Every structure is written in structure tokens, then in C-alpha cells.
Amino acid sequence: MFSGLPLFPEQASSFAADVDALYFFIIAVSAFFASLIAILVLIFAVKYRRRHDQEVGAPIEGSLPLELAWSLIPTVIAMVMFAWGAQVYYDLRRPPAEAHQIYAVGKQWMWKFQHLEGPREINELHVPTGRPVKITVTSEDVIHSLYFPSFRTKIDAIPGRYTTLWFEPTKPGRYHIFCAEYCGTMHSGMIGTVVVMEPAQYQAWLSGGAGEGTLAEQGARLFQDLSCNTCHLETAQGRGPSLKDIMGKPVQLTTGESVMVDEVYLRESILNSQAKIVAGYTPLMPTFQGLISEEGLVALIEYIRTLSPQAATAPAAAPAPPVEAPAPAPQGDRN
């Protein structure tokens, strides 16, 4: 009857089948309990309807075995759901180390995507099949949420923070991108299309759009434009610490604490340079809050990452590696 009425979005990522299987399991459990109760109350409605005015119900107080049964059995079933759901979630939230990195910035009311290889996109995202893609997400203004229904995943884009999501597209095609967190007037217009391509086509697409150089090259230019390079020298002789070989390693602060150098720390140190000073240096650096865009920040971070070559391990196995080696997932993901 409803042949034209779809009930599920396309399954276009490696998670989609896992999430749907779990969904069907819970539907089956729910249908069982719903039918059980529905059938019982309807049978009772007929069987025990009042036959005469003076009739009263049977004097039944309760039953401890029954109470235990209908507390414990649902508890056990709920724990199965919990464990299964937690396992799917764990996979959803942990990008593999070799995932292909893309940055996304939400802003009222558009999604901006930045590929390491250089291309930038607005409300459209091209990704290849057959390889995990990790998106690091932030927002320029209010909270948004980057949602790919056909991949069964989403993550909030939170101003001032990086969050991540990942997926492995399995089926070429064009699918929805939505903003799932209400963000103002044109919230429902903050939508786009994710274009899943065969790896070869994706490579062709990438090479067609890299006019401004790779993201790290853009970051290198910005590093000079903002005069970062006057203090952050390659050697430790500069007024600021050297940025060579720092990514993914702990660094000692003036307070005696040490922090892991990752995107979050770099971002904070650029925007709020007084927050965490590396031991042995004086707080000379101006704050860049308001002077640098979210895209500029990710370009700088990518540039700084290239200064730590051993942290940027070999590119993902399949297929033809892009120009730039994809960065590994930072350890100690703060999300």
C-alpha cells in the first residue's frame, strides 16, 4: 500500500547495518512486550467485564514471584540492549588511526568542509568509498550538529571545541547532510549533500579542486602572514617554543603540569595564548581570539602537524594515497 513510502534511510556506511540490526532487535523486543500487554488488557476487558451491579473483583493482593519475574526479566533484556548499544557506540565514537581526515566548521547557516588536500566545500562534501573518513568538527557561532542519516551518525559542532565523528562510506551516491541541533532562523536550511564516490573518481575530483594548495600549505602561508615564524623558530632559540616534533607528545608547562599536544591544546594556545605557557618561556604571545577564522585555525594546526613527521604516519592502505598523508587520530581524544 505504501510502496512509495520509505521507512528507512539508505544504508551507505559500514555502521548503517549495525545500527539497523540493533534497531530491529529493540523493535522485536518492544513489539513482544507491547503485544503481550495489549492482548492481556483486551482479553481481560472482555472476560472480566462487569456482569451485574453488585459484582466486585477477586481479592488479590499481589504476588512476589510475579513482581520479581517482571522486574528481573526486563532488567536482563535491558542489559543486553545496553551492552549491544554501548558496543556500537564505542565503534562509532572511535575513529581508526588511519582514517582520512577532513575538517568541518558549522556556521549560521552553512557547513564548510576543508580537505587536507586543499579543496574547500560549502554544504557539499565529497568522500571516497572503502576507507574510513574522520571529520573534526567545530562551530563559529552557536551549537550545530553534523548529521548524516545514511551513515547513521552525527556529532554536535560546539563553538570553542573540537568534536569528531567518523564513518566508512560503502555505497556511492548522494545523501543528505542535516544540521540536527537547532541554531536559529535558517536551521532547516543548513542542509547539504554528501557525495560518496568510487576512490578513482574521488581522486579525480580532488585533483580538480586544489587551487590554493594543500591545507598544510595554506597553513604555512598563514603562519608567515601572522608572523608566527618570527618567534616560533625551527630551533629552540626563538622567543616561543619550537613547534617541531611536538604533536602527540606531552609538554611541560610553567605550572609544572604537563599536557598532551593535540588539536585542542594548539587551538587553545593560539586563541588564548596565556592559558598554558610552556616551561622556560615568557607569556609574550598576543591572543588571536577574533583575529583568525576557524578555517585558519585548522590550516595552522595541519601545518604544525607536518612539522612532526613521525606523528603523521603512513597513509591509509587503500587506495591510491592522496597528496598529503592523512593525519593519525590524536591520542587521548578529549571528546
Partner 1 sequence: MLDTLKLPERHYLNNGHGLKSWLLTKDHKRIAILYLISISAFFFLGGLFAVGIRLELTTPQGDFFQPDTYNKMFTLHGVIMVFFFLIPSIPAVLGNFLIPPMIGAKDLAFPRINLLSWYIYVLGGLFALFAILVGGVDTGWTFYTPYSSAASNTNVIPTALGVFIAGFSSILTGLNFIVTIHRMRAPGMTWFKLPLFVWAHYATSLIQVLGTPVVAITIIMVFVERAFGFGIFDPQRGGDPVLFQHLFWFYSHPAVYIMILPAMGVISELISTFSRKKVFGYSFVAFSSLAIAVFGFIVWAHHMFVAGISVYAAMVFSFLSFSVAIPSAVKTFNWTATLYKGSLTFEAPMLYVYGFLGLFLVGGLTGLFLATLGVDVHVHDTYFVVAHFHYIMVGGAIMGYLGGLHFWWPKIVGRMYSEFLSRISAILVFVGFNLTFFPQFVLGYMGMPRRYHMYPDEFQVLNVMSSAGAAVLGLGYLLPVIYFLWSLKHGEVAGPNPWGASGLEWRTASPPPTENFAEVPTDIPEAYEYTPHVVREAKLV
288-327 positions binding partner 1, by CB under 8 A? 289
* Whether the Cβ atoms of residue 313 and residue 97 lie closer than 8 Å to each other: yes
Contact present, 114 and 105 (Cβ < 8 Å): yes
Rule CB under 8 A: say whether 129 interacts with partner 1.
no
Residues 144-183 that bind partner 1 (CB under 8 A): 145, 147, 149-150, 152-156, 158-161, 163, 176, 178-183
Q: Does 82 bind partner 1 (CB under 8 A)?
A: yes
CB of 94 to partner 1, least distance (A): 7
Report the nearest approach of partner 1 to the CB of residue 84 (Å): 7
Q: Rounded to 10 degrees, what is the CA torsion of 153, 114, 316, 96?
A: -30
Q: How far apart are CA 150 and CA 195, in angstroms?
A: 11
- CB-CB contact of 242 with 236 (8 Å): yes
Which residues make beta-bridge pairs with 121? 113
Nearer residue to partner 1 within complex by CB, 49 or 237: 49
User: Between residues 54 and 237, which has the closer beta carbon with respect to partner 1?
Assistant: 54
- Specify the 3-state DSSP secondary structure of 81: helix
Cβ proximity to partner 1, 90 vs 235, nearer residue: 90
Strand order in the sheet with 153-157: 124-128, 192-197, 173-179, 144-148, 153-157
Interface positions, 271-290, toward partner 1 (CB under 8 A): 272, 289
Interface with partner 1 (CB under 8 A), residue from 1, 3, 71, 237: 71
Q: Taking CB under 8 A as the rule, does residue 88 contact partner 1?
A: yes
Closest to partner 1 by CB, 126 or 154:
154
Please select the residue that binds partner 1; options are 3, 28, 185, 237, rule is CB under 8 A.
185
Report phi then psi at 76, rounded to 5: -65, -45
CB nearer to partner 1: pick between 8 and 227: 8
